[in-house]
Each structure stands twice: as C-alpha cells, then as structure tokens.
Amino acid sequence: MKFKTFKSMVEKGSGATIETFRTDRGGEFVSKEFNTFCDNVGIKLHLTAPYTPQKNGVVERRNRRLMEMTRSIMKHMHVPNYLWGEKTRHSTYLLNRTATRTLKDGTPYEVFRGKKPSIEHLRIFGCIGYAKVETPYLKKLDDISHMLVHLGTELNWVQKRIVC
C-alpha cells in the first residue's frame, strides 16, 4: 500500500504524526485494508460527500494549480502527452519550492523540512543537453555525445531525469 510509504516519509521528514486523513472516497481510500491500517495506527478518516470537491477545497485547488502548471509547460516546451507524469513530478517539485499566500513561514519545502531549499541545480524542463560518449574506440566521425532531454530532477537532486 503506497499510503504506508507516504505516511513514513511524511512522519520522518516532519517529525509529526498523521492524525487525520481527509479523502474524497477514492477507491484506494475506502478499502477494508486501508481502514484497518488507519485504525491500527490511530489515524481518523474523514470522508467527504461524493462529487463535492468543494468539501476538500485545499487539495482540489492545489491539484488544479498543479495540472495548470503541467499543461502550460508541456505546451510551451512541446513535450508529448505521454510524458505528463514526468512533467507533473517536475511541477510538484517546483511548487513545493514556491511561496504561497497561505504559508507565512515560507515555502511548503521550508515548512516541511525546516530549511530553505536550494535551487542552484534546477534546469528548464524539456531543455536539450548532451552526454559525452565514454568509449576508447571512437572512430573519427563517430558521435562524441548523445542528445538528451531534461525531464526534471530527482528528489535527492544529485541525479537528473532524462530521455534519449
């Protein structure tokens, strides 16, 4: 269950525990396994009424902003639709490092991690890069590099996500 991984990451990263979880009754959040898990770890479940996204306004607004950002950058960079997951991951990475009106103490990253995020490693999504070919047997006219497209940054920001 992915929620266990999420719970572990949130609690480890913030030092706080999840006490309440609000959901829109999505299939993954109404299973017997999920309910039992939440009962066992002391998480209170709040289920919103079906088809009422306004009852979960903060999350719905955040998701809307995320999808708007994803769509905008994909169109601007002419990224094919099949890479929407990569773009959404990158948009989330950026939004978590962007100031909001509701958080007075900084960005979501700062509030969660307790330190300012570094942005020196950021690159433009969809930009072209080149990787040197490391081989001792290159002929005179062989390519010495491969063209790559930047698809975002891994959470540890040491690695980049690319496609050849």
The predicted-structure confidence for 43-65, as pLDDT tens digits, reads as follows: 999 888 877 777 778 888 889 99
Domain that residue 56 falls in: 11-113
62 within a domain of the structure (yes/no): yes
Please state the φ and ψ torsions of residue 96, each to the nearest 5 degrees. -70, -10
149 within a domain of the structure (yes/no): no
User: Pairing state of beta strands 145-153 and 160-163?
Assistant: antiparallel
Q: Are 100 and 122 in contact (CB under 8 A)?
A: no
Once rounded to an integer, what is the mean pLDDT over residues 112-124? 85
pLDDT-derived band at 150, boundaries 50, 70, 90:
confident
141 within a domain of the structure (yes/no): no
Distance CA 11, CA 17 (A): 5
Q: What is the 3-state secondary structure (H, E, C) of 34-70?
A: HHHHHHHHCCEEEECCCCCHHHHHHHHHHHHHHHHHH
140 within a domain of the structure (yes/no): no
CATH number of the domain within which 99 lies: 3.30.420.10
Q: Which two tokens stand for residue 52?
A: 């009422």
2 within a domain of the structure (yes/no): no
77 within a domain of the structure (yes/no): yes
pLDDT of amino acid 122: 83
pLDDT-derived band at 157, boundaries 50, 70, 90:
low
pLDDT of amino acid 128: 87
pLDDT of amino acid 158: 55
Closest CA to 3 of 80, 56, 118, 21: 21
The predicted-structure confidence for 76-108, as pLDDT tens digits, reads as follows: 888 888 888 888 988 999 999 998 888 887 899
50 within a domain of the structure (yes/no): yes
81 within a domain of the structure (yes/no): yes
Instruction: Domain count for the chain, please give it.
Output: 1
